[in-house]
Amino acid sequence: MRGWFAACLLALCLCWGGALAAEVGVEGVKYFSHHNSALGESLHTLSYTFNITNGVWNRLNGGTARDFYFSRADCWEVDLRDSAQGGVDSSFADNVDLFFLCTHGNNTGDSIYLAYDAQQTEWHSNSTRWKLGDGDLEWLALYACRTLPVSSVDRTCNHFFYGLHMVLGSHDSLWDSWTTEECGRDFAQNLKDGDRVADAWLDGLSDWWCDQNALVASAERADTWGGDLTRTTMARDHWHGRGEVCSDIPHSQVYWYRVALID
């Protein structure tokens, strides 16, 4: 009888722990030799990529079956692309709570450009083919340059916010340097400390020596437009098990984006 009780208690604890455990997917591209050879480009090595991605993985990997960490040519653009458009997001980026990617970035024509070192099936991303949050994803974190220029946040985000809570990116350069190699671990530690997700990004990326240009954009409902900002996604979202997390906002109900940035 006692044994049964202990077993039930253990099972309950495991279930409860599983419910609280957040899933994380991490990808990092450091070398671009295949990309450069194929396209005749000259993307530079991002020397500290793995310091950043290891920092996130080491702190947030909860050992769930969905967690993954891929590097180099194992990072593919289809991981973010919508399944209906030939992608596999429902198995990777949109199958975890936080997807963190470190690579070269840019924004052209209101689409986020991310460079990859494997052609699976393209050499770079096109965010007009993303549909994020219709699966599990809440937070998309991109340690890459100029993914969200201030002037095109809305037009860029309109393409892919399908239940996604927040995109954590940049409005200009993010630095690849000895002094910013700690950004990944600081961001992850902030999440674990119970900081708001947006604050965790802005604080985690800042060493106040390199001019880091962090930016966060969150999906918001119509009733908070010009109203009570304490009820916004940006003000309420925390890492699972460390505070409040908002419910998903369907694509059709995303009325505005709240933007926070450092410049």
Q: Among the candidate windows 4-12, 21-29, 123-131, 240-248, which touches another protein by CB under 8 A?
A: 21-29
- Judged by CB, which is closer to another protein: 17, or 33? 33
Distance in angstroms (rounded) separating the CA atoms of residues 260 and 235 = 11
182 lies in the binding site for another protein (CB under 8 A): yes
End-to-end Cα distance, the chain: 63
Asked if residue 220 lies in contact with residue 249, where contact means CB atoms within 8 angstroms, the answer is: yes
The 10 Å Cβ neighbour count of residue 231 is 13
Contact code string over 120-149 relative to another protein, x by CB under 8 A = x------------------------xx--x
Which position among 93, 98, 104, 162 is part of the footprint of another protein (CB under 8 A)?
104
- The site that binds another protein (CB under 8 A) totals a number of residues, namely 92
Distance in angstroms (rounded) separating the CA atoms of residues 257 and 263 = 18
Q: 199 to 218, contacts with another protein by CB under 8 A? A: 199, 202-203, 207-211
| CA 151, chain centre distance (Å) | 21
Q: 224 to 243, contacts with another protein by CB under 8 A? A: 225-226, 229, 234-235
Kindly state the helix (H) or strand (E) to which residue 186 belongs, with its residue range: helix 183-192
| CA 258, chain centre distance (Å) | 17
* Shortest Å distance, C-beta 15 to another protein: 20
* Shortest Å distance, C-beta 120 to another protein: 7
